[in-house]
Structure 1
Amino acid sequence: MSADSDPNQQNLDADEFEQALSEVERSLEALKERYAQVQRDQQRQAQLQHRREQIRQSPRQIRNQPALKAELRQIKEQLETIELNLESRLFSWSAFKEPFWQAVRFGGLGIVIGWLLKSCAG
């Protein structure tokens, strides 16, 4: 009897497929949520930048009011937070893990080869 005709093997394959499928669905949902968050952050960032420019273009007497200075500080802090959120969520360790270890591996290999060549030549 071959493994393809074994009902237990078929059930195992179906279970593995369903687990993989649900993992892909979870990843897709997380990606959709992240995309929506990025869209909201970019929209909020544009609004804050527009408001900051409005305040900066206002006459100096109005701009120097304590309430507007406080609003500018608050806008600056919010913009920094949004920029940090956008940057930190776009780049994660998992995205750099493979290239990082390849650079370490091949860089280390290059150093070892360099030492070997230097010792043979010198």
Structure 2
Amino acid sequence: MSSPQSGNTQENELEKILIEVETSLLKLQKRHAQVKQDLKARSHLLERQQELKQQQKDKSIPQPLKTELRSLQQELDGLELTLESVLLPDIFWQVVRFVFLGIAIGWFLHIWAT
């Protein structure tokens, strides 16, 4: 039989775990919102790039448009790098964290219930 104090300790541990899961979920939601925003910006940049390329085909492209085209390409490269380098590792570690926390919560609930 467990003492009342060990029950409080288990409840405190469970609360800590739940707070950590909630914090992780909020971080993941923020990351998801950032990714959606970056994808939207990427889409707009690609559209503008296509417009400039079409103008280039129609006539000789002036220097300011060439500069804008280069600038758009640099922004696109930056967004692609951000989306690839930030999203994939985070997803992996979030999955590992949530699986571990799920196991830990199950283990604590099992101990608490017995």
Interval containing the TM-score (normalised by the shorter chain): 0.7 to 0.9
Alignment partner of 1:75 out of 72, 75, 80: 72
Distance in 2 of aligned mates of 1:94 and 1:32: 12
CA distances 1:56-80 after superposition (whole Å, capped 9, x unpaired): 001222x2x1111110111001000
Please state if 1:66 is matched with 2:26: no
Residue in structure 1 matched with residue 53 of structure 2 by the alignment: 56
Distance in 1 of aligned mates of 2:91 and 2:45: 31
Residue 94 of structure 1 and its aligned partner are, at CA, apart by 8.1
RMSD, aligned CA: 1.7
**Equivalent pairs, count:** 91
Larger Rg: 1
**Identity of paired residues, percent?**
34
CA distances 1:42-100 after superposition (whole Å, capped 9, x unpaired): 10000000000000001222x2x11111101110010001001111122218838xxxx
Matching residue's letter, 2:72: I
Distance in 1 of aligned mates of 2:25 and 2:91: 16
Q: Which moved more, 1:81-90 or 1:46-55?
A: 81-90
Alignment partner of 1:45 out of 34, 38, 42: 42
TM-score by length of 1: 0.70
Distance in 1 of aligned mates of 2:86 and 2:32: 10
Q: Which runs of 5+ in 1 are unaligned?
A: 97-122
Residue in structure 2 matched with residue 86 of structure 1 by the alignment: 83
What SS is found at the alignment partner of 1:57? Answer: helix
Higher relative contact order (CA 8 A, sep 6+): 2
Distance in 1 of aligned mates of 2:21 and 2:37: 24
TM-score by length of 2: 0.74
